[in-house]
């Protein structure tokens, strides 16, 4: 009788699970895999279009999925100027030859940029393309530079939005007829001229968001978009 009582006590103390094939409470589940193969196309090339106000690329973040199905992010810090007209490419078809070629292109672009900044002002008129003109002024452009050749003096100039445009008022007592010119394949998309009391106004519409500076030359004004 005493032996039977001891056996019942031992059975009551034991902590057995109902189903030993599943983890008990408090145990961490182990990630599992499957033999089923998901059809996921390999990365060839993807593009990201930047908004018109983008000027500096500060970093790139990639979101990826691990083998166990968990998701993580990896960020690459950058501090590079960008041209929002050109898309950002993502690709794995990048070789060492591409890196060497990119480095050479980067060096050449720095040299060209330096030359352009030094030589761009209106003394080198052959760099500009004439895009419009009326009786009292002629308009030229070269990439992000805009030159106005005129004998009239600027009273004021400022920037407006929707659409993004530069407004320039020239002092003049002359009567100026309304003038408008659309421009294709150019960051300067339209030029409008209108008459006002004591001045006429030139409006230069832009293809996106910019700041600008202006330089007064001998016979012209040069606007540079930033």
pLDDT at 221: 97
| Contact between residue 221 and residue 147 where contact means Cβ atoms under 8 Å apart | yes
Question: Does the residue 68 lie in any domain?
Answer: no
CA torsion, ordered 142, 147, 149, 150, to nearest 10 deg:
160
- pLDDT, position 69: 86
Q: Is residue 44 part of a domain?
A: no
The pLDDT value recorded for residue 37 is: 58
Instruction: Give the C-alpha separation, 22 to 29, whole Å.
Output: 9
pLDDT of residue 101: 63
CB–CB of 85/100 below 8 Å? no
Range of the domain at 179: 127-225
- The CATH number for 185's domain is 2.60.40.3500
CB 194 within 8 A of CB 121: no
What pLDDT does 92 receive? 81
Please tell me the predicted confidence (pLDDT) of residue 40.
82
pLDDT along the chain (226 residues), means of 10: 62 57 53 60 86 89 88 91 87 65 57 36 63 96 96 96 95 94 95 96 96 93 96
Count the domains in the chain.
1
Q: What is the CA radius of gyration of the chain?
A: 34
Stated pTM of the model: 0.61
């Amino acid at each position: 009788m005493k032996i039977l009582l001891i056996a019942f006590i031992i059975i009551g103390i034991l902590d057995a699970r109902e189903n030993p094939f599943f983890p008990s409470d408090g145990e961490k589940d182990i990630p599992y895999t499957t033999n089923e193969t998901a059809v996921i196309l390999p990365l060839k090339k993807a593009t990201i279009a930047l908004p018109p106000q983008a000027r500096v690329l500060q970093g790139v973040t990639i979101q990826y999925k691990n083998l166990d199905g968990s998701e993580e992010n990896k960020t690459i810090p950058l501090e590079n100027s960008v041209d929002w007209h050109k898309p950002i490419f993502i690709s794995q078809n990048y070789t060492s030859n591409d890196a060497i070629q990119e480095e050479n292109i980067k060096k050449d672009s720095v040299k060209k940029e330096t030359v352009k900044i030094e030589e761009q002002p209106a003394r080198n008129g052959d760099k500009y393309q004439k895009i419009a003109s009326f009786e009292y002024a002629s308009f030229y452009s070269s990439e992000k530079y805009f030159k106005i050749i005129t004998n009239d003096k600027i009273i004021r100039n400022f920037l407006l939005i929707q659409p993004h445009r530069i407004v320039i008022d020239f002092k003049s007592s002359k009567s100026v007829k309304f003038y408008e010119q659309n421009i294709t394949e150019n960051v300067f998309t339209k030029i409008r001229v209108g008459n006002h009391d004591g001045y006429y106004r030139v409006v230069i519409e832009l293809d996106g968001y910019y700041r600008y500076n202006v330089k007064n030359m001998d016979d012209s004004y040069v606007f540079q978009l930033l």
